[in-house]
Amino acid sequence: MESSDIGVLTILGVIFFVWLLPILVIISSRKTTGREKLAWLLAVIFISWFAWIFYLLLAPIRKKN
């Protein structure tokens, strides 16, 4: 494995952890139960997914030179 591969994997790991952290916090929370917890999980996942769709649709597309 090259140094650049390890750097890319590290960055992807950090991004995945940051994305997964709110889900883990909601799951382990004792402040909410049952359906409320499920609603929060779905909201976090849906909003995250929705943000990526907007990014893909609205991000400026540049031609590679």
30 within some domain: yes
Question: What backbone torsions phi and psi does residue 60 show, to the nearest 5 degrees?
Answer: -65, 135
In tens, the pLDDT along 18-37 reads: 888 888 998 998 888 889 99
64 within some domain: no
**Structural domain total, the chain:** 1
pTM confidence score: 0.64
28 within some domain: yes
Q: DSSP state, 29? A: -
Cα–Cα distances in angstroms (integers) from residue 19 to residues 4, 33, 36, 61, 63, in the given order: 23, 22, 20, 25, 30
Distance CA 52, CA 47 (A): 9
Domain of 17 in residue numbering reads as 3-58
Q: DSSP state, 62? A: -
Which band of pLDDT confidence, cut at 50, 70 and 90, is reported for residue 65? low
